[in-house]
Chain A
Amino acid sequence: MTKIKDVAQTIRSKNSSPYEITIDIIFDDVTIYKMVKQSKMPLPEKVTEHYGSGKEYIKDVFYYDEAHAIKIAIQRPITAGDSGDTDVYGAQQYAPILNMEVE
C-alpha cells in the first residue's frame, strides 16, 4: 500500500482564520491526483479515520483540479492564541494524513 506522503508533492496546514485550519495536499502528478480523487474509499471517510476521536472537527474536503490539490477544512478545537493553544499558526496539524494509504 502506498502512503500519501510518498506520492504528494506538498502536504501542509495553516490557519485560514483563528477558528479554522486548512490542510492542502498537492500532487505533482495529475494521474496520482485523479487516482486519489476517484479511489474506492471516499476521501472524507479516510481523513476522519486518521484523526481518531478528533474527527468531529473535520468539516469539509474539496478538490481543486487546476492545482491537482485536495483541501481539508478543520474546525480548530481551540481558537488561535486562546489558553491551551499549542499551535498558534495551525502549522503542524497535517501529520496524521502523511500515513494515509492510497491505492
Chain B
Amino acid sequence: MTNEVTVVTPVLCLGVGGIKTEAFEAALEYEPDVIAVDAGSLDFGPYYLATGSTFAPRRQVKEDLSLLISASDRLDIPLIIGTAGGSGARDHVQSTLEIINEIAIENDFSTKTTIIQSEIESSTLEQVRTERDNISPIGHDQPLQAENVEHANRLVMQMGVNPFINALEEEPDVILAGRSCDNAAIGAYAVAQGLPMGLALHMGTILECADFAAKPKPDTIQSLGSDMNATSPMIATISSDGFNIEPADNRLQCTEQSIAAHTLYERGHPTWSLEPGGALDTSDCIFEAVDTETVRVTGSQFVHTDEHSVKVEGAGVVGQRAITMLGFRDPRLISQLDTVLNRVRNTMLEKFSSQTDRLSIDYSVFGRDAVMGDLEPNTQIANHELGVLVEIIADTKTIATDVGNTLEMRLFHGRHTDDVPQSGAVAIPFSPNTFHTGPATEFTVYHAVPVETPDEFASTSKVVLPREGLK
C-alpha cells in the first residue's frame, strides 16, 4: 500500500492526433508510477464494434505505442491500454497486440503483456438474459430481448477496475484490455495501491481526455496556433484524500473551473454517473487552485450498489448501405420538395420490397433540417440551393445500389410539375451516381447486466512478446 500515485495520460485516444513528444518527455519528469491511456469509444458509432474494424490509423497507433512502450520500459513502469483497437472486442484487441508484437521485434526487446478480453459470446449473453432478472436498458426503454442478442455481431462488457487490479498483481509491462470504462483503465492502478475508488475514478474521468481539460494560458493562445486539442499529456498525483492535476505543456493550465467543467463532459448528469458496481458522485467535490497550472480535487465519492452490474454493448449489421447525393437548384422544385421526394420514395418501396426483407430510404435535406432532424426549430427553407443525402439500406449491395440508381433516375427524369424540365430536375455530383458504403450497422444491446463477480465476463491471458506467428 502506498501514499501517493502519479499517473500520466499522454493523449485523448491512442492513434488519434499523435502525442506531443516534448510535452510527453516533460510529463515523464514527474516520475509517474504508470502510463495509462484510453484507446477507444462508442462515439464513432456502431460500425466499428459491429464489423471488428478500427478507426484510428494503424500507423499512428504504432507511432504512439512505440513512444509509450519505450518510455514505460525506460522508467520500468506499466503501460495500461483500455478499449484497445477502438471498440475493445477480440478483433480490436488482436489488432493492437500485433502492433505491440511488431514494435518488440523491431526494437529487439521483450515485453510481458497481460491481455484482458471482455467480448461476450451471444450464447453466453442469451443464457444470462433468460436466467437473470434486473437486466435494465440504459438511456432507452427497450428490454433486452432474444433478437437484440441475436442481431449483435459483437457484444462486449465495459469492464471496471477489478480485472485491471487482478492483472497488476503479476506486474506485467503492458496491460492490453478490451472494452473498459475510460476512468477504470486510468484509475485502476491507484485503486490497486489502496487509494479511494471515488477519487481514482474521478481522476480517470478527467485524465482520460489528456489536455482537453486544460486551457491555454491567457498569453499563449497565439503560440498554440492550430495545435490539435488533447494531444499533450495530463499528469495527476492522487493520495488518500484528493488528487492534483496539471498539464505537461507549460502553455496550458488547469483552472478550478476547467476541471469542474470537465467533470461533466459527455455525461448525462453533472454529478452522478453509473459505474460498474455503483456510481461516481461528485456533488461534494471541491476544486482548488494549487498554483497557476494545478488544481486539487477532493470530495469525490464512490457509492456501492448491492448488486454489481456492468454495461453490455452490442452492435450488428442490419443490411448493406448505398448513398447518393442530390443537388436541388430550381426553386420551382424546391417549393415542392417533400411531395416529390415522398412520391419517389413510395414508388421505390413498392417496386423493390419483394426483393429484400430490409428496405429503408432516408432523406436528409441539407440547407433545411438535415443536421438537427426533429430537433430543428426552423422549418422554413430560405436557401436557393439544397443538398439531399439519400441513404438506402437493403439486404444486399446490389439491391441497395439498384434502389439508389433507380431513385435518382426517377427524380432526374420525372414529370414533377408542369414547368420543371422532364430531364435534369436534379444535379448528381459524382460518377458512379450511387455508391455502396459497406455494411449498415446499429447498436442492438445497451443494457446493465447484473454479474456474479466483477470479472465474470472478463478473460485474462499472459503472453511474452515478441512471439512468432501471432497472426
Contact of A86 among B364, B393, B442 (CB under 8 A): B364
Q: Are A96 and B377 in touch, CB under 8 angstroms?
A: yes
Q: Are A53 and B374 in touch, CB under 8 angstroms?
A: yes
Q: Are A64 and B139 in touch, CB under 8 angstroms?
A: no
Q: Are B377 and A18 in touch, CB under 8 angstroms?
A: no
With A52-B376, A78-B373, A86-B364 as contacts: A24 and B443 at CB distance below 8 Å:
no
Q: Are A67 and B257 in touch, CB under 8 angstroms?
A: yes
Contact pattern, A 17-51, Cβ under 8 Å of B = 1, otherwise 0: 11110101010100000000000000000000011
Q: Are A28 and B257 in touch, CB under 8 angstroms?
A: yes
* Chain B nearest Cβ from A9, distance in angstroms: 8
Residue of B nearest to A62 (CB): B270
* Chain A nearest Cβ from B401, distance in angstroms: 16
Residues on A with C-beta less than 8 A from B266 are 14-16, 22
- In the complex, A32→B271 CA distance in Å? 21
Q: Are B377 and A54 in touch, CB under 8 angstroms?
A: yes
- In the complex, A26→B255 CA distance in Å? 14
* Chain B nearest Cβ from A89, distance in angstroms: 6
Contact pattern, A 75-87, Cβ under 8 Å of B = 1, otherwise 0: 0011111111111
Query: Which of chain A's residues 55-78 have a Cβ closer than 8 Å to chain B?
Result: 57, 62-64, 66-69, 71, 73-74, 77-78
Total A-B residue contacts, Cβ distance less than 8 Å: 137
- In the complex, A83→B363 CA distance in Å? 10
Most buried by B among A50, A78, A84: A84
B302 contacts chain A at the CB level, 8 A cutoff: no
B264 contacts chain A at the CB level, 8 A cutoff: yes
Q: Are B264 and A64 in touch, CB under 8 angstroms?
A: yes
* Chain B nearest Cβ from A66, distance in angstroms: 4
B372 contacts chain A at the CB level, 8 A cutoff: yes
Q: Are B362 and A84 in touch, CB under 8 angstroms?
A: yes
Residue of A nearest to B371 (CB): A92
Q: Are A69 and B45 in touch, CB under 8 angstroms?
A: no
- In the complex, A87→B264 CA distance in Å? 21
Contact of B442 among A16, A26, A81 (CB under 8 A): A81
- In the complex, A57→B286 CA distance in Å? 33
- In the complex, A82→B360 CA distance in Å? 11
Residue of A nearest to B361 (CB): A83
* Chain B nearest Cβ from A37, distance in angstroms: 13
A7 contacts chain B at the CB level, 8 A cutoff: no
- In the complex, A78→B270 CA distance in Å? 23
Q: Are B45 and A88 in touch, CB under 8 angstroms?
A: yes
Residues on A with C-beta less than 8 A from B256 are 66
Residues on A with C-beta less than 8 A from B446 are 17-19
Q: How many residues of A contact B (CB 8 A)?
A: 45
- In the complex, A82→B265 CA distance in Å? 24
Q: Are A93 and B270 in touch, CB under 8 angstroms?
A: no
Residues on A with C-beta less than 8 A from B321 are 83
With A69-B261, A93-B372 as contacts: A52 and B268 at CB distance below 8 Å:
no
Query: Which of chain B's residues 134-163 have a Cβ closer than 8 Å to chain A?
Result: 138-140
Residues on A with C-beta less than 8 A from B267 are 16, 22
B375 contacts chain A at the CB level, 8 A cutoff: yes
Contact of A51 among B44, B360, B377 (CB under 8 A): B377
- In the complex, A79→B269 CA distance in Å? 19
Residue of A nearest to B315 (CB): A81
Residue of A nearest to B366 (CB): A86
* Chain A nearest Cβ from B256, distance in angstroms: 8
Contact of A81 among B45, B261, B286 (CB under 8 A): B45
Residues on B with C-beta less than 8 A from A63 are 270
B243 contacts chain A at the CB level, 8 A cutoff: no
Q: Are B373 and A83 in touch, CB under 8 angstroms?
A: no
Q: Are A80 and B45 in touch, CB under 8 angstroms?
A: yes
Q: Are B373 and A71 in touch, CB under 8 angstroms?
A: no
Residues on B with C-beta less than 8 A from A57 are 374-375
With A10-B261, A68-B257 as contacts: A62 and B269 at CB distance below 8 Å:
yes
Contact of A84 among B139, B140, B391 (CB under 8 A): B391
- In the complex, A41→B426 CA distance in Å? 46
Q: Are B264 and A84 in touch, CB under 8 angstroms?
A: no
Some 11 contacts from A to B, beta carbons below 8 A apart, are A17-B446, A18-B443, A19-B140, A52-B377, A73-B269, A77-B374, A80-B443, A82-B442, A84-B373, A88-B44, A93-B372
Besides A74-B375, A93-B372, 4 new A-B residue pairs in contact (Cβ under 8 A), listed by A number: A52-B379, A81-B47, A82-B443, A95-B371
**5 nearest A-B residue pairs (beta carbon):** A52-B377, A67-B260, A81-B45, A84-B362, A54-B375
